[in-house]
């Protein structure tokens, strides 16, 4: 079977007849089976994918196909897909079948993408290592004894292991960018509101963003172009026009101003990660880009602010999972209150319980002003830091994670240590800005290193053009 670098090459091969879509889909199904130990998928839709391949092959032959015809995509198991399971990798939704399809997923289907399966993730997208899943942990395809990152670890692993062309994930505080960094693929988190959240099982509603994993910037741009746009079902979705992200990657001789914040290069950052990112910055300077030092003074408060606000929103959002209306119900239900208690105790995993309790605490009487209200004020200060920075520069380069992928079980017993692995990614969600993880090198052990590029709100066009420049001219 002929290989292809990105979807644009794939569609040309499909049009010319050099590549058979049915054979291509069969290849992915076989690869998923051969790599089952990775545990990247919760569900694989084999027969459905085979049937769709035949239908879409005919559309391609007749020239009546959509923008993503034949792109094989996996979706994180927190996104609804009608008549298919949506479990959020939790026991509490073990047998739940979706009754409607998420807008982002429907937009992929409408453009003739093939949904091959639903990927494993941390339960309710809460975690940084993909070890908090009722379906078991996901392994990093680069080195199996390492974590793939979380919470979208299954999607990252599936793309890195070439089990699909691309995958959808969600990013609440780094859950696309960090696993992309750990697995050595591109991970794009759009601006909050760029992509409709309708059909996404909410973790923290003012933070959650749906984005993609891919092996090239071109594929990331194309998927974003398709899933973006206003949705009447989501009042927080933006009315901003969706640019043709995949049509033009040229910077047109414009050298963007690049901001480097000292707050992201201090204590705790691995020397290997720091060197890899500084090498890219040096190369960009040689290519004529203006490198400017900037300050993001409230960065030290991002983790505390993030975990106060997201746990508060999670405790509210997860109240609906009570054993009464749908999902898991405990057999210990002699009274209504006992049924609530035991269903939630047995149905939720330890990390989800921890976050619900933290969120309930910070929202409780006597602590609301001390924690929740204060965190909201700090969130505004963090957003203002970025507003000021983007008045001086076009993009900001930072690390994605302080380290490369850590060993399975290494941080499981220390929640604070685990939370600190998100120290460089949560700020983008607090500010609602877009970010991308770009694979930029490997450690001495052969583990991938990711570089993060951040841009101003709704400036994904420059973010993708700049990322493409790095992909083609620097790496």
Active-site hit among 10, 67, 76, 465 = 76
Contact present, 225 and 188 (Cβ < 8 Å): no
Give the Cβ contact number of residue 252 at 10 Å: 6
Concatenate the DSSP letters of all residues of 11-69 into one string.
HHHHHHTSS-HHHHHHHHHHHHHHTGGG--EEEE-HHHHHHHHHHHHHHHHHT---TTT
67 is catalytic: no
Active-site hit among 89, 90, 128, 175 = 175
333 half-sphere exposure, CB direction, 13 A CA radius: 14
Is 240 buried (19+), middle (13-18) or exposed (0-12) by CB count in 10 A? middle
Q: What is the CA angle 291-294-298, rounded to 5?
A: 150
Nearest to 243 by CA among 218, 226, 220, 219: 226
C-alpha of 37 from chain center = 22
Contact present, 133 and 120 (Cβ < 8 Å): yes
343 is catalytic: no
Active-site hit among 151, 196, 209, 238 = 151
Contacts of 282 (CB under 8 A, 6+ apart): none
Does a cis peptide bond (omega within 30 degrees of 0) precede residue 151?
yes
Contact present, 158 and 29 (Cβ < 8 Å): no
Catalytic center residues: 76, 151, 175
């Amino acid at each position: 079977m002929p290989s292809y670098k990105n979807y644009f090459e794939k569609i040309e091969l499909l049009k010319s007849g050099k590549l058979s879509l049915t054979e291509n889909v069969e290849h992915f199904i076989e690869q998923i089976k051969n790599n089952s130990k990775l545990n990247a998928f919760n569900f694989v839709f084999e027969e459905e994918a085979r049937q769709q391949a035949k239908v879409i092959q005919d559309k391609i032959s007749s020239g009546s196909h959509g923008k993503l015809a034949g792109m094989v995509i996996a979706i994180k198991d927190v996104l609804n897909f009608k008549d298919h399971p949506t479990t959020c990798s939790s026991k509490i939704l073990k047998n739940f079948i979706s009754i409607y399809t998420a807008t982002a997923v429907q937009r992929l289907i409408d453009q003739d993408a093939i949904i091959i399966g639903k990927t494993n993730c941390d339960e309710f997208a809460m975690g940084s290592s993909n070890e908090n899943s009722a379906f078991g942990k996901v392994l990093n395809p680069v080195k199996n004894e390492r974590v793939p990152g979380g919470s979208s670890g299954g999607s990252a692993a599936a793309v890195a292991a070439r089990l699909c062309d691309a995958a959808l994930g969600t990013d609440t505080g780094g859950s696309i960018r960090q696993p992309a960094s750990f697995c050595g693929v591109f991970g794009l988190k759009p601006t909050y509101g760029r992509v409709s959240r309708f059909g996404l099982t909410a973790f923290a509603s003012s933070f959650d963003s749906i984005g993609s994993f891919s092996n090239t910037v071109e594929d990331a741009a194309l998927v974003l172009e398709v899933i973006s746009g206003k949705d009447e079902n989501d009042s927080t979705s933006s009315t901003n026009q969706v640019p043709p992200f995949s049509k033009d990657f040229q910077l047109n001789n414009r050298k963007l101003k690049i901001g480097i914040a000292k707050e992201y290069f201090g204590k705790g950052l691995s020397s290997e990660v720091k060197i890899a990112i500084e090498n890219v910055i040096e190369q960009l300077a040689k290519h004529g880009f203006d490198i400017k030092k900037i300050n993001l003074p409230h960065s030290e408060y991002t983790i505390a602010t993030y975990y106060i606000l997201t746990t508060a929103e999670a405790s509210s959002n997860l109240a609906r999972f009570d054993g009464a209306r749908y999902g898991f119900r405990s057999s210990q239900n002699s009274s209504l209150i006992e049924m609530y208690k035991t269903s939630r105790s047995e149905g939720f995993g330890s990390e989800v319980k921890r976050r619900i309790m933290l969120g309930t605490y910070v929202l409780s009487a006597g602590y609301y002003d001390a924690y929740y209200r204060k965190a909201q004020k700090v969130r505004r200060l963090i957003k203002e830091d970025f507003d000021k920075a983007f008045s001086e520069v076009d993009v900001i380069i930072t690390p994605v994670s302080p380290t490369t992928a850590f060993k399975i079980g290494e941080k499981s017993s220390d929640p604070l240590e685990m939370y600190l692995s998100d120290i460089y990614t949560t700020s983008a969600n607090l500010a609602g800005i877009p970010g991308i993880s770009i694979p930029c090198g490997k450690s001495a052990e052969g583990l991938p290193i990711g570089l993060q590029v951040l841009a101003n709100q709704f400036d994904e066009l420059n973010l993708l053009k700049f990322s493409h420049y790095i992909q083609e001219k620097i790496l």
